[in-house]
Homo-oligomer: A and B are copies of this chain.
Amino acid sequence: MADIQAAFQYVDTNFDRFVGDLQALCAQPSIAAQGVGIAETAELVAARLRSVGASVQIVPTAGSPVVMGVVPGESERTMLFYNHYDVQPPEPLDKWISPPFSPTIRDGHLYARGVVDNKGHFLSRIHAVEALLKTRGRLPCTVKFLVEGEEEVGSPHLAAFAEAHKSLWQADACIWETGYIAEDGTPMARFGYKGMLYVELSAAGANTDLHSRQAPIMPHPAWDLVHALATLRTRDGRVRIPGFYDGITPPSAAEEAALAALPMNAAKLLGRLGLSQFPRGMSTPEAVRALYTEPTCTICGLLSGYTGPGKKTVLPCEASVKIDFRLVVGQDPADIFEKLKAHLQAEGFGHLEVRCTGKAYAYKTSLDSPLVAMLADVAQLVYGKPLAIEPTAAGTSPMYVLARLHSMPMSSIGVGWPGANVHAPNESLRLEDYRRGIKYMAAMLDRFATCKL
C-alpha cells in the first residue's frame, strides 16, 4: 500500500495540471451527430495516449475512427478501458452559463460539454496510468484503451471494428466508459446493461387525408394502430407478445442481495416528478427490483393526423408509433422482433408495416466474478465506503458487442455524479470526484495485476 500511496501523492501534486489537460480536451468540440471535430479529437486522444508511452493506432471505420492505445505492463494481465471521444450536441446553447466548449471552473465543478460524458472518464484513466508510471517506472499490468468516436449516435460501427480487430482489444477484464458517485457519496459500479429493440409500426389508409365526413366508408389507420397497440401490453405493463419473457432467468442470490442494498430515495424521486407513488402501488424495494430486472415496452412517440391547436375534422391517412423494448439477458432482440411480427399477424394486424430501427443485446457480468469483490475492496480504500452494486443498468450500452467476442468481466465505474447534466446544458464534473476517480483507477490497476479472476 505504501506503493499506491505514492501514486495517490502524485495525483494530488499534479492535480491542477490534470485538470488543465481535461480543459484542453474539452475545449475541442467532437460532435458525432453533426460531424464536428471528429478527426481533430481523435488526434488529440492519440497524442494524450502517446504522452503516457502508449503505442497508438488510429483505426479507420466506416464512420469515426477508433483510437487504440496499449501501454505494456509487468504481469500477463491486460485491462481494457472502453471510452468514447465524441460528445452530445451542446444545444440549446442559450441555456449554458459558460459556453459548452470553453471549459470553466465554478465552485469546484468543471463545466463543459463532454466533461463527464465521456472525456473526463477517459482522461482519469490516462492520469491513473501516468501516476503509476511516474511512481513505479512500469505499469503493474498491460492496459489497452479502445476509444471510439460514435457512442452518442449509437456506436454504429463498433461491432464491425471489434470483429475485424479482435486481437487488438483482447483483454482479461474491461472497465466500461462511465460511472458515478451517488448523492450520499457512495461509489457505484454497474456490471451490465439492458438490451434494446427499437421498432416503428405504421398503418396506412387512403392515399390522402380525408374530410372526416367520409368516416363511415373509409379505412381508419389511427384506429387500426390503436387496436394493434392495445394487444402488445396489458394495462399493468406486462408485455403480451407470446414468448416475450422466455429465456429470462430470475436474478441470482448475489444479484438479489445487491438490488436489496441499492439506495433509492423514492420520496425525493417521486416528489421531483410530481408523482405520489410508483405504478400499481409498488413499494420502493419492488421498484428498485423492477427498474433493474424488468424488460419493458415503451411508446416513445405516437402520431396521426392533426395535432395543432383547436379542431380539425380530418380522417388521417396514416398513423405511426415508435416503440422501445428494453430487454434483459436471455432475450434476443432479433427473436423478439420476429415474435412481435408473428403476434401482430396472429392478432389480425399483419397488414401493418413493422420496421426494426435498432437492436442491442443485454449483457451482465456475474457478480461471482472476483472483479466485483476487487472493485469493492478498492472502493472501500479510496472512498471509505462500500461499493453499491448495480447488477445491470436500467439503460442500454454496447457492452455485449465486445463481450460476445471475448468473454471477460466488465464493470462501469467512474467520475460522474447524479447532477452531472450529461446530454443537457451545463454538463459538469465535481473536481473532487475527478481526483478520487484517478486514485480509484490507479489502485484498481495495481490490485488487478495480481487478483484471481
Residues of A within 8 A of B (CB): 154, 194, 196, 198, 205-208, 210-220, 222-224, 226-227, 229-230, 233, 235, 237, 273-275, 278-279, 282, 287, 290-291, 294, 296-308, 310-316, 319-320, 322, 324, 326, 348, 357-358, 393-396
Chain B: CB-nearest residue to A219? B279
The answer to whether B290 touches A216 (Cβ under 8 A) is yes
Interface of A is mostly: mixed
* Pairs A–B under 8 Å by Cβ, sample size 25: A154-B311, A194-B213, A205-B275, A211-B395, A212-B296, A213-B395, A213-B396, A215-B297, A215-B326, A216-B287, A216-B296, A218-B278, A223-B235, A223-B299, A230-B230, A235-B348, A300-B311, A301-B304, A301-B305, A301-B308, A301-B312, A301-B314, A302-B305, A310-B357, A312-B322
Chain B: CB-nearest residue to A194? B213
Residues A273 and B211 in contact in the complex (CB < 8 Å), given A220-B298, A222-B299, A313-B300: no
The answer to whether B300 touches A217 (Cβ under 8 A) is no
Residues A322 and B326 in contact in the complex (CB < 8 Å), given A214-B291, A274-B207: no
Q: How far is the CA of A298 from the CA of B214 in the complex (A)?
A: 10
The answer to whether A307 touches B313 (Cβ under 8 A) is no
The answer to whether A216 touches B394 (Cβ under 8 A) is yes
Copies in the complex: 2
The answer to whether B229 touches A290 (Cβ under 8 A) is no
Q: How far is the CA of A212 from the CA of B218 in the complex (A)?
A: 35
Q: How far is the CA of A124 from the CA of B220 in the complex (A)?
A: 38
**Contact pick for A299, options B194, B230, B316, CB 8 Å:** B316
How near does chain B come to A406, taking the closest CB pair, in angstroms?
26
The answer to whether B291 touches A222 (Cβ under 8 A) is no
The answer to whether A233 touches B229 (Cβ under 8 A) is no
* Residues of chain B with a CB closer than 8 A to A154's CB: 311
Chain B: CB-nearest residue to A295? B216
Q: How far is the CA of A324 from the CA of B219 in the complex (A)?
A: 15
- Max chain B C-beta neighbours (<10 A), residue from A154, A299, A312, A393: A299
* Residues of chain B with a CB closer than 8 A to A219's CB: 275, 279
The answer to whether B311 touches A357 (Cβ under 8 A) is yes
* Residues of chain B with a CB closer than 8 A to A198's CB: 311, 313
Q: How far is the CA of A296 from the CA of B219 in the complex (A)?
A: 12
The answer to whether B300 touches A315 (Cβ under 8 A) is yes
Q: How far is the CA of A218 from the CA of B274 in the complex (A)?
A: 11
Q: How far is the CA of A315 from the CA of B394 in the complex (A)?
A: 13
Task: Given contact pairs A213-B394, A298-B313, enumerate 10 new A-B contacts (beta carbons under 8 Å).
Answer: A211-B395, A212-B298, A217-B291, A223-B229, A226-B302, A227-B230, A299-B319, A303-B303, A307-B320, A311-B322
* Residues of chain B with a CB closer than 8 A to A313's CB: 196, 198, 298, 300, 324, 396
How near does chain B come to A400, taking the closest CB pair, in angstroms?
16
How near does chain B come to A317, taking the closest CB pair, in angstroms?
8
* Residues of chain B with a CB closer than 8 A to A326's CB: 212-213, 215-216
How near does chain B come to A201, taking the closest CB pair, in angstroms?
12
Residues A206 and B300 in contact in the complex (CB < 8 Å), given A226-B226, A322-B305, A322-B312: no
How near does chain B come to A190, taking the closest CB pair, in angstroms?
12
**Contact pick for A217, options B230, B287, B306, B312, CB 8 Å:** B287
The answer to whether B300 touches A316 (Cβ under 8 A) is yes
Q: How far is the CA of A280 from the CA of B230 in the complex (A)?
A: 21
**Contact pick for A278, options B217, B316, B393, B394, CB 8 Å:** B217
Q: Which 10 A-B pairs have the closest CB atoms?
A: A207-B274, A230-B230, A222-B299, A213-B395, A215-B296, A206-B273, A213-B394, A303-B307, A216-B290, A301-B305
* Residues of chain B with a CB closer than 8 A to A207's CB: 273-274
